[in-house]
Amino acid sequence: MEIKVVMGQRLLRANEEVAHRVREHLARNSCLMVNLISSPGAGKTTLLEATLGRLRERWRIGVIEGDVYTVRDAARIAHLGIPVVQINTAGVCHLNASMVERALGELGEGPFDLIFVENVGNLVCPAEFDLGEDAKVALLSVTEGIDKPAKYPLVFERACLVLVTKGDLIPYLDFDLAEVERDVRQVNPEVPLIVTSAKTGEGMEAWLQWLEEQLRRKKKVSSVTV
């Protein structure tokens, strides 16, 4: 185990250098990058589909899909006519900054205002890797149970926004939103939390407003610093 930790730290340092390059590249292009992290099946791709439909008229959007093997998620995004690159990690359980840097190079025709990165479905490792993104967004589906923020605190600590997904299923579950919120606030006191449902549209307006606010802020900041 000790050896693994040492290797891990060296890898994380190398990752940080690449993430810094990605961040500079995005700043030069006034492009916002949002990194979606959740367990498998929490609804990242479904949220993306609904979001792209609403934002594509206003902003130039690209998507980077992370998956262990398949291209299923990228196919769903490409079906909408949105530029998308699939990263297959071939067994690795998270995206790192080098993968994202290469994917940015392959995303083609830019410039983009907004790039979504859909990370590999995993509540542990993706939280540790800086991809050069502006914001990590943590998704937690109501069917996963209320104990996840306490059990996987790092992803909720590093998130700029928490989306509680599949809100339409709450009536059929023992799900205590207040307890989830309390556990999230313990590690991240100020983070906004929105209950969403791709099925009913609940929370979509608040999520889109949050995105628009980040986009406006990024455009302002970038035009000052560049």
Kindly list the residues in this chain that would bind a second copy in the complex (CB under 8 A): 1, 3-4, 7, 11, 39-41, 67-70, 72, 91-93, 96, 98-99, 120-125, 128, 141, 143-145, 147-148, 150-154, 166, 169, 172-173
Q: Which is nearer to a second copy, 173 or 226 (CB)?
A: 173
**Size (the chain), residues:** 226
Q: What minimum distance in Å lies between the beta carbon of 186 and a second copy? A: 12
Whole-angstrom Cα distance, residue 77 to residue 97? Answer: 22
Three-class secondary structure of residue 137 per DSSP: strand
Q: Which is nearer to a second copy, 47 or 55 (CB)?
A: 47
Q: What minimum distance in Å lies between the beta carbon of 34 and a second copy? A: 21
State the CB neighbour count (10 A cutoff) for residue 16: 13
Q: Which is nearer to a second copy, 50 or 211 (CB)?
A: 50
Whole-angstrom Cα distance, residue 158 to residue 150? Answer: 13
Alpha helices in the chain (DSSP H): 2-28, 44-55, 72-78, 97-106, 148-151, 153-158, 177-187, 204-225
Whether residue 155 contacts residue 184, with contact meaning beta carbons closer than 8 Å, is answered with no
Q: What minimum distance in Å lies between the beta carbon of 125 and a second copy? A: 5
Give 49's contacts (C-beta < 8 A, 6+ positions apart).
76, 77, 80, 198
Q: What minimum distance in Å lies between the beta carbon of 191 and a second copy? A: 18
Q: Which is nearer to a second copy, 5 or 224 (CB)?
A: 5
Whole-angstrom Cα distance, residue 177 to residue 52? Answer: 27
Q: What minimum distance in Å lies between the beta carbon of 150 and a second copy? A: 6
HSE toward the beta carbon, residue 40, CA cutoff 13 A:
4
Q: What minimum distance in Å lies between the beta carbon of 122 and a second copy? A: 6
Q: Which is nearer to a second copy, 64 or 120 (CB)?
A: 120
Q: Which is nearer to a second copy, 2 or 57 (CB)?
A: 2
